[in-house]
Amino acid sequence: MSADGFIQVKDLDLVYMKEGKPFPVIKGLNVNIAKGEFAVLVGPSDSGKTCLLRLIAGFEDPTSGEIFVDGKSVKGPDPSRGYVFQDMVLFPWMTVHQNASFGPKSRGLSEKEVKEVTKKWLDKVGLTKFQEKYLHELSGGMQQRVGFARVMANDPEVLLCDDPLGQLDWVSRETLSNEVLQVWHETGRTVVYVTQAIEEAVYLAQKIYIFAPRPGKIAQILEVKLPEKRWEDKDLRFKKEYYHYVEQLREIITEQASKSKEPVEKGPCSP
Amino acid sequence: MTNVIEATKLKKLFRPDDPSRLLAIDGFDFEMKEGEFVTLIGPTGCGKTTFLRIVAGFEDIQGGQILFKGKPVEAPDAKRGVIFQDIRLFPWMTVRDNILFGVKSRGIKAEEQKQKLKETMELMQLDNEALNMYPDRLSTGMRQRIGVARVLANSPDIILLDEPLNSLDWVTRDYIQTTFLKLWHETKKPILFVTHNIPEAVFVAQKVVVMTARPGKTKSVVNVDLPERRWELRRDNDHYLDLVKTTSRLVEDELSKAREVEKVVGY
């Protein structure tokens, strides 16, 4: 691993045009994320978190600056950078199994390999019993598990998550965040995760990157020094040491947000 | 003190024409006193939103009784202001017309309308920039603020909140939470807040009513004896964390029972 980080974002600018005028979304953003790190991006509304995630995914190109993943410049989407969307974007006409095996098949793995890798990930997310079901037969939490299985079956180096649990109820959210942590811990992959919930940010992260208001850049980094296997402590979510970070993060975000007026209009990367 | 809401042996079927189908609520007793801030929490599908809709007058019931200030609820009424999860602003109206919709429908004079608009805009920290825009251009946070403003402009006797903070970014969520806490602190207007976010449920309320898995009944009531000026409270407060833990355990207990229900679809 180079000292510069596994994911290296250098002098990034992203400028859109709006009513004929330049509209800067990200300006001079620099960040280094280590291999195997669980990085969480938080910040005021419209500060460019989702935009950064999409740039790392290669869904669009920055106006200037560059992103390197494992030393290679990002030029477009790649299965080595898996993306879990907030609203899943699964194929509704396919069963759970077909959804999960889509990536491995497209990558041209042998039938046997496709079977193995699909089985492995459906087992891991607890969906084996439901593999012949269609998506509308599953609850929101189960659908999001399919989303994870589908991405993980591609064996990505980097997992990019755009608030994947944001639509779920609180308890399912807590359960699934434990599962996400376990997958991260077992596979040792690098995760970049966007969330709106500060409790979730602290629970998941090793490092939290806090954005300044638009045009976005990293204002501050908060390192969360809680044990790595957080799911083992059933009471962690009610402990002072955990909420101490939540409160700290709340103060930082509130301070950042107060530096600019809340945007009235929706941002270019919001739905 | 009188009860602002009183439900006795409430029963609600999703399909009244076919009683063998899912029971949403069965034998639900609930009471809320004038001046209380209550949150209603429970596993997905327990009927908490359905109950709020019954209080609002959007749903008929198949048994029991629902009273608002001693009178049966029969239809929606501007006295019971509802703020929905997905806001539902009128897309063909400007922000100004959205906020004033209820006020205008009640035939209030132009001068008073202006005053109402000014008051609610101040309360929700909205500035003139947004007033002539249509909702589709607005950020989620701004849309939610306007949804709240539209209801408050009606000066309702009770505010019913159906998970309105769900999809908001932290800063807006914190702001709207604080607005309701301060509004309640100053006016003691009763607020019934439905949410699945346990830390939030405890943070805002005086009383958390935990519902059982479907068909929903009251499982337990947690009294939140924290200071009233809640917006000044730190979330790493020991007593607050104890209450969050107690509430979480109650919900988790019900959730394990609800898990099987969750997997069945078809309603």
Query: Which among B232, B142, B202, B174 has a CA at the least distance from the CA of A250?
Result: B174
**For residue A3, is pLDDT > 70?**
no
Distance in angstroms (rounded) separating the CA atoms of residues B146 and B140? 10
Q: Tens digit of pLDDT for each residue in A80-127?
A: 999 988 876 788 899 999 999 998 998 889 999 999 999 999 988 888
Residue A191 has a pLDDT of 97
- Kindly state whether B238 is in contact with chain A, defined as any CB-CB distance less than 8 angstroms: yes
Nearest residue, CB atoms, A238 vs list B170, B197, B241: B241
User: What mean pLDDT do residues A233-259 have?
Assistant: 91
Residue B264 has a pLDDT of 42
**For residue A258, is pLDDT > 90?**
no
Residue B205 has a pLDDT of 96
User: What mean pLDDT do residues A195-209 have?
Assistant: 95
Nearest residue, CB atoms, A270 vs list B139, B236, B248: B139
B143: nearest CA partner in chain A: A264
Low-confidence ranges of chain B (pLDDT < 50): 261-267
Given an 8 Å threshold on Cβ–Cβ distance, is B137 in contact with A247? Answer: no
Q: Taking CB atoms and an 8 Å cut-off, how many pairs form between chains A and B?
A: 100
Residue A101 has a pLDDT of 93
Residue A271 has a pLDDT of 58
Distance in angstroms (rounded) separating the CA atoms of residues B206 and B227? 9
Asked whether the beta carbons of B206 and B226 are under 8 A apart, the reply is no
Residue whose structure tokens are 């390197």: A68
Question: Which residues, 6+ apart, have CB-to-CB distance to A123 below 8 Å?
Answer: none
Residue B153 has a pLDDT of 92
Nearest residue, CB atoms, B137 vs list A138, A139, A265: A265
Nearest residue, CB atoms, A264 vs list B130, B174, B244: B130
- Kindly state whether B248 is in contact with chain A, defined as any CB-CB distance less than 8 angstroms: yes
Q: Tens digit of pLDDT for each residue in A5-20?
A: 899 999 999 999 888 8
DSSP B212: P
- Residue A268 buriedness (CB in 10 A; 0-12 / 13-18 / 19+): middle
CB atoms within 10 A of CB B259: 12
Q: Where are the alpha helices (DSSP H) in A38-82?
A: 49-57
Given an 8 Å threshold on Cβ–Cβ distance, is B43 in contact with A171? Answer: yes
Given an 8 Å threshold on Cβ–Cβ distance, is B196 in contact with A171? Answer: yes
Q: Where are the alpha helices (DSSP H) in chain B?
A: 48-56, 95-105, 110-123, 128-131, 140-152, 170-187, 198-204, 238-263
- Kindly state whether B234 is in contact with chain A, defined as any CB-CB distance less than 8 angstroms: yes
Smallest Cα distance from A218 to chain B, Å: 17
Question: Which residues, 6+ apart, have CB-to-CB distance to B9 below 8 Å?
Answer: B27, B28, B29, B63, B64, B65
Q: DSSP for B223-263, please give it.
A: E--S-S-GGG--TT-HHHHHHHHHHHHHHHHHHHHHHHHHH
Residue B259 has a pLDDT of 60
Nearest residue, CB atoms, A254 vs list B141, B174, B251: B174
φ and ψ at residue A207, rounded to 5 degrees? -135, 135
Give the 3-state secondary structure of A148-168. HHHHHCCCCCEEEEECCCCCC
Residue A173 has a pLDDT of 85
- Kindly state whether B46 is in contact with chain A, defined as any CB-CB distance less than 8 angstroms: no
Distance in angstroms (rounded) separating the CA atoms of residues B108 and A145? 52
Residue A112 has a pLDDT of 94
Taking the C-alpha atoms of A184, A42, A196 and A251 in order, what is their torsion angle to the nearest 10 degrees?
120
Q: Tens digit of pLDDT for each residue in B99-151?
A: 999 888 888 898 999 999 999 998 888 888 889 999 988 887 888 889 999 99
Given an 8 Å threshold on Cβ–Cβ distance, is B263 in contact with A142? Answer: yes
Q: Tell me which residues of chain A, numbers 188 to 227, contact chain B at a CB-CB cutoff of 8 Å.
A: 196-199
Mean pLDDT check: name the lowest of A29-38, A222-231, A250-259, B160-169. B160-169
> Where is pLDDT greater, at A169 or B29?
B29
Distance in angstroms (rounded) separating the CA atoms of residues A31 and A14? 15
Torsion-angle region of B129 (φ positive above 0: left; ψ -120 to 50: alpha; else: beta): alpha
Residue A265 has a pLDDT of 78
